[in-house]
Amino acid sequence: MTATIDVATELEAIRQVKARYCRFLDTKDGDGWRTVFAPDVVMEVDLAVSTGGADPMTSPPYVGVNSVVPDVLATLAEVTTIHHCHTSEIALTSETTATGIWAMEDRLYFPGDRQLHGAGHYHETYEKVDGTWRIKTLHLTRTLMEFLGPWAE
């Protein structure tokens, strides 16, 4: 990496992308959420807790922003969500690429008084295109999945 970039500015720009990711997802703002992703984004979501590094059940990947945005938002259409991301570990790998790991906590409120309290990590890569950072790949791993309410009915 050359000295022509301001590392602190670039890291903050990536943090802002992740903040918008959470806000747009929780507010179900599909047009806004689309802006945080690269057109060819690949998203993977673990559907079980990883224990000792074991590979949990992972959903088939969503490939492309035209799959990620409508498919995920349709899945969450009747769900109130709260996503918080913390303690970012971001590394610039070039002037236009970066990696990041974010600790996360989410709460999902489903119809019928069912809830999911979760925690884990987002493992991401980013690319900067036309001066804007976007999420290129995202893999959500889980350390906690606590189901509350009448799930067994």
Has residue 1 got a pLDDT over 60?
Answer: no
In the DSSP assignment, the letter for residue 58 is: B
- Domains of the chain, earliest start first: 7-148 (3.10.450.50)
| Residues 111, 44, 37: CA angle, nearest 5 degrees | 90
- On whether the CB atoms of residues 127 and 94 are closer than 8 A, the answer is no
Has residue 151 got a pLDDT over 90?
Answer: no
CA distance 153 to 147: 13
Hey, what are 78's tokens? 């009747």
Averaged pLDDT, 76-100: 97
Identify the pLDDT of residue 5: 84
- pLDDT digit string (tens) for 107-144? 999 999 999 999 999 999 999 999 999 999 999 999 99
Pairing of strands 132-148, 97-110: unpaired
For residue 135, count CB atoms less than 10 angstroms from its CB and return exposed for 0-12, middle for 13-18, buried for 19 or more: buried
Identify the pLDDT of residue 153: 61
Averaged pLDDT, 91-99: 97
Checking phi first, is residue 152 left (phi over 0); if not, alpha (psi -120 to 50) or beta? alpha
CA distance 29 to 142: 24
- pLDDT digit string (tens) for 19-68? 999 999 999 999 999 999 999 999 999 988 986 666 677 889 999 999 99
- pLDDT digit string (tens) for 65-85? 999 999 999 999 999 999 999
Pairing of strands 37-49, 132-148: parallel
Distance of CA 28 to the CA centre of its chain: 14
- On whether the CB atoms of residues 64 and 41 are closer than 8 A, the answer is yes
Hey, what are 53's tokens? 């590094």
**Amino acid present at 19:** A
Percentage of the chain modeled with pLDDT above 70: 93
